[in-house]
Amino acid sequence: MKKSSFLFYVINVVVLMWLTSCASSRHQSYEEEITAFRQELNASFRDSAHTPLRGRHLKEFRELPFFPVNKKYAVQAHLKRTPEALPFEIPTSSGQNKKFRSFGIATFLLDGKEYQLTLYESLKPDGTVRDATSLFLPFRDLTNDEETYGGGRYLDIKKPTGEKVMIDFNK
């Protein structure tokens, strides 16, 4: 009887250790994924063919400042589409206007508080969708003007097919 109880205990400990290591490696792989994304983004900012930076800003660029990776900032939002939205133009840092149209309103909870952000489709000059796979998400938060660029920040979001959309502010 004692041997079987001991064996049962050992098996449970081994299974628990295995489950813990799997969860830990998944968490590490998420951090590695975000780190790789950030490295690619920095590389694109250094590449004169793809960067929005010009002149001395490009010459002096080293890397974008990022907050530490925190999985709580990867949220799944409910998406309410805005199919009747009209196109409009947004001025960009390059001095050119770009055309957009609201795609939908994303609603999510973060730290128990509800937030709503508008997702936009980028349009070509003729009004057709520029990229059928991604959406533009500009936003401002309490870090603007203090810890981050005053004009706000943005994310490129994978266009969802349903009523849920993943927004990862770590990117």
d(CA 137, CA 152): 11
Mean pLDDT computed over 110-132: 96
User: In which region does residue 26 sit, left (phi positive, over 0), alpha (psi from -120 to 50) or beta (all else)?
Assistant: alpha
Confidence of residue 53 (pLDDT cuts 50, 70, 90): confident
Confidence of residue 25 (pLDDT cuts 50, 70, 90): low
59-87 pLDDT tens trace: 999 998 899 999 999 999 999 999 999 99
Q: Is the sign of the CA dihedral 119, 122, 127, 130 positive or negative?
A: negative
Amino acid in the structure at residue 80: K
